């Protein structure tokens, strides 16, 4: 089914998405080598139509003009939520991971607690919710560690990830479709599994590597970094 994006619900969603995009890109630095920045030629988009939508995503088709001036016909997957993830670090340097079956790849995946936050929700509130629902944890201390564009050739999905510590237990509340296992693992063991290739979820891999860099470079509280980097 192909529909125009002129429906009231679609307009509300696009307004929320526009506000979110502004917030997500605010204060985004340019790489040191990029001297042109906003002066570079850009894509331009024509009228959009909706090929498919459900509560989780919208599939759109748009006429477009490439930076070269060439015409293009672009189909984009547009999730309705921001992806949020959190690496919960215990005082002894161990971290809690969650394991669950993933339908898209029909595999089993060990990941940091993660999920979706609607665009009109505070992203940190969404991350707090996922940490409680999936890992049964609450945290007093939080630090945003990275922002990601997960597949920018076919999707506008974005993600924000945090480190969280000063943890306490709370009741779990997984979704009706989720059977979630948890494992408390030394941070360096998780890093080793990322390097070995057994942990492949993109947000998890990026967050673990970023956390290692921050702990190694002295950008986390000293006792926490020391515990995280302790050899196995």
Tokens, residue 198:
């057994």
Tokens, residue 175:
């979704």
**Model confidence at 20: pLDDT above 70:** no
Spatial strand order of the sheet with 114-118 comes to: 114-118, 81-88, 158-169, 137-149
Question: Can you point out the beta strands (E) in the chain?
Answer: 3-4, 44-53, 57-65, 71-79, 81-88, 94-102, 107-111, 114-118, 137-149, 158-169, 181-186
Give me the domains of the chain, ranges plus CATH numbers: 3-22+34-79 (no CATH), 81-229 (3.90.79.10)
pTM of the model: 0.89
Tokens, residue 152:
């920018």
State how far the alpha carbon of 83 is from the alpha carbons of 29, 91, 108, 126, 213, in Å.
Answer: 21, 26, 19, 9, 22
- Is 81 within 8 Å of 56 (Cβ atoms)? yes
pLDDT mean over 17-32 = 76
pLDDT tens digits, residue range 34-75? 888 778 889 999 999 999 999 999 999 999 999 999 999 999
What pLDDT shows up at residue 168?
Answer: 98
Q: Is the CA virtual torsion 170, 86, 187, 110 positive or negative? A: positive
Cα–Cα distance for residue pair 213/115, rounded to 1 Å: 24
pLDDT tens digits, residue range 182-202? 999 999 999 999 999 999 999
pLDDT tens digits, residue range 146-193? 999 999 999 999 999 999 999 999 999 888 888 999 999 999 999 999
**Model confidence at 130: pLDDT above 80:** yes
What pLDDT shows up at residue 148?
Answer: 96
Q: Residues 100, 104, 107, CA angle at the centre, nearest 5°?
A: 45
What pLDDT shows up at residue 152?
Answer: 94
Percentage of residues in the chain with pLDDT exceeding 90? 78
């Amino acid at each position: 089914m192909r529909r125009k994006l002129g429906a009231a619900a679609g307009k509300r969603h696009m307004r929320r998405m526009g506000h979110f995009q502004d917030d997500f890109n605010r204060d985004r630095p340019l790489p040191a080598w990029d001297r042109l920045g906003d002066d570079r030629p850009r894509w331009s988009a024509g009228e959009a139509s909706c090929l498919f939508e459900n509560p989780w995503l919208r599939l759109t088709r748009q006429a477009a003009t490439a930076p070269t001036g060439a015409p293009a016909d672009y189909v984009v997957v547009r999730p309705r939520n921001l992806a949020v993830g959190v690496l919960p670090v215990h005082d002894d340097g161990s971290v809690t991971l969650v394991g669950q079956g993933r339908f898209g790849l029909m595999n089993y995946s060990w990941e940091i607690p993660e999920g979706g936050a609607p665009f009109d929700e505070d992203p940190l509130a969404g991350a707090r919710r996922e940490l409680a629902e999936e890992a049964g944890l609450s945290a007093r201390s939080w630090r945003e560690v990275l922002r990601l564009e997960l597949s920018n050739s076919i999707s506008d999905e974005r993600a924000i990830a945090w480190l969280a510590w000063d943890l306490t237990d709370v009741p779990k509340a997984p979704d009706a479709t989720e059977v979630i296992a948890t494992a408390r693992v030394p941070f360096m063991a998780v890093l080793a599994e990322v390097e070995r290739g057994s942990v492949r979820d993109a947000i998890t891999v990026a967050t673990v590597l970023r956390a290692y860099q921050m702990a190694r470079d002295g950008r986390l509280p000293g006792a926490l970094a020391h515990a995280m980097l302790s050899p196995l």
